[in-house]
Amino acid sequence: MKEMAMYEFAAAHQPNHSNTLTRLSEATASERSFTAVVLAGARCSNDPVASIFGGQYKALVPICGKPMVERVIDALASSNSVKRVVVVFDDAEMLHKSCPNIGENYNIPVEVIPCRESICRSVAGALESTGDEWPFLVTTADHALLTPAMVDRFCSEALNGGSLSVGFVEKKHLDAEHPGSKRTYLPFRETQLSGANLFAFTNKGALPVLDFWRQIEMKRKKPWQLFKAFGYRNLLGLLFKRYTVDEAFARASTVLGVEASAVRLPFAEAAIDVDTPKDYHQVTQILQDRTDALHSFEAQLQPVS
């Protein structure tokens, strides 16, 4: 793959999750400081990806021989930034049965807590359950292409940002690496960004965003109240590309009551998650390509007889 250095391939395939090549990724002051929260519960009873396999939980769907959620935990545990992983899932016993290695293969603790009635409340519950172990990294179980380098890059930049950081990928990276990938983009004056399902709550100053999120969830069936909450001028300005990324996030910070910032990641695959069967097939191919590239790299390292 063009965007991944060979050390990332090696790190992603080490069974003991401690290969020293991982250390070559963004190792900074963020080392082992984040508590990672993985949202893995079912959002609906008929998820289009889970239904292909006759199951309820997309997080447990196997992709290239491993459940998606386990791939995410692998990346988090193999990074230099995460000291603890909290998986938010409805059934801890089912998770451990599907992913028997998550309690044994890592050098950091991995625990499971139950979902709450909404995504926002599940995030709040995860933060509450861990006490004051700031900062927090929040991601999703369908981020099957997540790598340690993505995690470290995001966490490193988030610590230099505000109380809340959100990960994005510019359209130019996706167009260059995966031109056939259909993503949703936010339009800004200088670029277009697609979300990377990475969120950092670096200190308690980020907590007001959860209160705002709760209000939005209650108003989700009243679109005009949603527009009012964000501000008509802000939404129209975004729609007509009047704001740069920094200007838009400055306005968002005012609305949310937090210091928010955007982290632009140079990894196209950070924006590719598994929402649809088409996504599933694309991610499967990318993972197979990574494995092939790793095997090719390893073959080059073999001594010539």
Domain boundaries, the chain: 6-23+30-172+194-203+261-297
Architecture of domain 6-23+30-172+194-203+261-297: Alpha-Beta Complex (3.90)
- Residues facing residue 111 across a β-bridge: 86
- Residues facing residue 265 across a β-bridge: 169
Q: Are 206 and 159 in contact (CB under 8 A)?
A: no
pLDDT in tens, the chain (305 residues): 444 443 344 344 443 443 333 343 444 444 789 999 999 998 777 899 999 999 999 999 999 999 999 999 999 999 999 999 999 999 999 999 999 988 778 999 999 999 998 899 999 999 999 888 999 999 999 999 999 999 999 999 999 999 999 999 999 999 999 998 989 999 999 999 999 999 999 999 999 999 988 887 776 556 556 556 778 788 889 888 999 999 999 999 999 999 999 999 999 999 999 999 999 999 999 999 999 998 888 888 887 66
The residue to which tokens 């108003």 are assigned: 219
pTM of this prediction? 0.86
Calculate the dihedral angle through the C-alpha atoms of 93, 287, 50, 185, rounding to the nearest 10 degrees. Answer: 120
Q: Are 89 and 32 in contact (CB under 8 A)?
A: no
- Residues facing residue 142 across a β-bridge: none
What 3-state class would DSSP assign to 185? Answer: coil
Alpha-carbon span 93 to 48, nearest angstrom: 23
What 3-state class would DSSP assign to 211? Answer: helix
What pLDDT, on a 0 to 100 scale, did the predictor assign at position 27? 43
Count CB atoms within 10 A of the CB of residue 85: 22
CA dihedral (18, 23, 25, 30) positive or negative: positive
DSSP 20-60: GGGGGSS-STTTT-EEEEEE-S-SSTT-TTGGGGT-S-GGG
Tokens representing residue 52 in the block: 């292909």
Using omega within 30 degrees of 0 as the cis cutoff, is the peptide bond preceding 266 cis? no
Alpha-carbon span 42 to 288, nearest angstrom: 26
What 3-state class would DSSP assign to 187? Answer: strand
DSSP annotation of 170 reads: E
Burial class for 270, CB neighbours closer than 10 Å (0-12, 13-18, 19+): buried
CA dihedral (12, 16, 21, 23) positive or negative: positive
| Contact residues for 146 (Cβ-Cβ < 8 A; gap 6+) | 71, 72, 75, 76, 139, 270
Tokens representing residue 27 in the block: 């190792």
